[in-house]
């Protein structure tokens, strides 16, 4: 099994995880238990049904050169640490060998070696961030959130206004059963977690945002500051 060398490498991966521990996540040292599945034609359907989300690394066959073996082992450890932390969230992890499990890869639509794919409901999301345990865990936790955050009152609106360093999309709709809101939610799912989507059903919240019914607005990072600077430079 992988346990003996994973324990040796585990101490090298813990420093970047401290920030998550400070936020309340339980990020212990690796406990030696193998949680990452070797996905094949016999178990992939069961894995997809078992977990709320399934995170798969599509990789080339394990290398034979020692230096490349170490890198491969470190990658496995990243998945093991993430799997350990997210076990309580019912998020599963697996690895798919591009040669040995080519048939499964084709069925799942995996086509780029070294990529991580997340299966959630009927969606497949490709993770394109740095493959470290803390970054991957944050990404997956974001994916677990509702794709649209609802603004119900002035307090939540003020919090929204303070997010001036993020790309945001906000819309005003009649209710959660509205055809326009459902289309908005579907769009949000396609961009989650890269772009945050917000909605309100309250006229008192929509008014300060200058939104009319079924209207959507897009906020770029620091847009207000840029607009103010342009105004200041205008004759």
* Distance set, CA 185 to CA 106, 127, 178 (Å): 29, 21, 10
Query: Is 136 in contact with 81 (CB distance < 8 Å)?
Result: no
Q: Would you say residue 20 has pLDDT above 90?
A: no
In a shared domain, residues 47 and 77: yes
HSE, side-chain direction, 13 A CA sphere, residue 219: 22
pTM: 0.76
- The answer to whether residues 156 and 124 belong to one domain is no
Domain boundary among 85, 109, 144: 144
Number of domains into which the chain is organized: 2
Q: Within this chain, do residues 126 and 205 fall inside the same structural domain, yes or no?
A: no
DSSP letters for 29-50? ---S---SEE--TTTHHHHHHH
Domain interval for residue 220: 148-233
pLDDT digits 0-9 by tens, 68-105 = 889 999 999 999 999 999 999 999 999 999 999 999 99
pLDDT digits over 165-224, tens only?
889 999 999 999 999 999 999 999 989 988 999 999 999 999 999 999 999 999 988 555
Handedness of CA 87, 116, 136, 167 (dihedral sign): negative
Report the CATH number that the domain containing residue 204 is assigned in CATH: 3.40.30.10
- Strand pairing of 196-200 and 168-172? parallel
Report how far residue 108's alpha carbon sits from residue 130's, in angstroms, rounded to the nearest whole number: 23
């Amino acid at each position: 099994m992988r346990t003996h060398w994973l324990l040796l490498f585990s101490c090298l991966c813990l420093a970047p995880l401290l920030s998550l521990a400070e936020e309340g996540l339980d990020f212990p040292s690796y406990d030696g238990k193998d949680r990452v599945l070797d996905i094949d034609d016999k178990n992939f359907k069961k894995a997809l049904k078992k977990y709320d989300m399934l995170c798969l690394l599509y990789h080339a066959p394990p290398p034979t050169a020692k230096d490349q073996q170490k890198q491969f082992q470190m990658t496995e450890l990243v998945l093991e640490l993430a799997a350990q932390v997210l076990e309580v969230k019912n998020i599963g992890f697996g690895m798919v060998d591009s040669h040995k499990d080519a048939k499964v890869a084709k069925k799942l639509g995996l086509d780029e070696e070294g990529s991580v794919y997340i299966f959630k409901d009927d969606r497949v999301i490709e993770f394109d961030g740095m493959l470290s345990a803390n970054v991957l865990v944050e990404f997956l936790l974001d994916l677990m959130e509702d794709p649209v955050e609802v603004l119900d009152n002035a307090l939540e609106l003020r919090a929204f206004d303070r997010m001036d360093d993020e790309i945001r999309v906000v819309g005003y709709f009649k209710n959660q059963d509205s055809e326009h809101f459902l289309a908005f939610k579907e769009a949000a799912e396609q961009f989650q977690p890269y772009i945050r989507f917000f909605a309100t059903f309250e006229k008192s919240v929509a008014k300060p945002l200058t939104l009319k019914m079924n209207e959507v607005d897009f906020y770029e990072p620091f847009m207000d500051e840029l607009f103010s600077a342009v105004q200041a430079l205008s004759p």
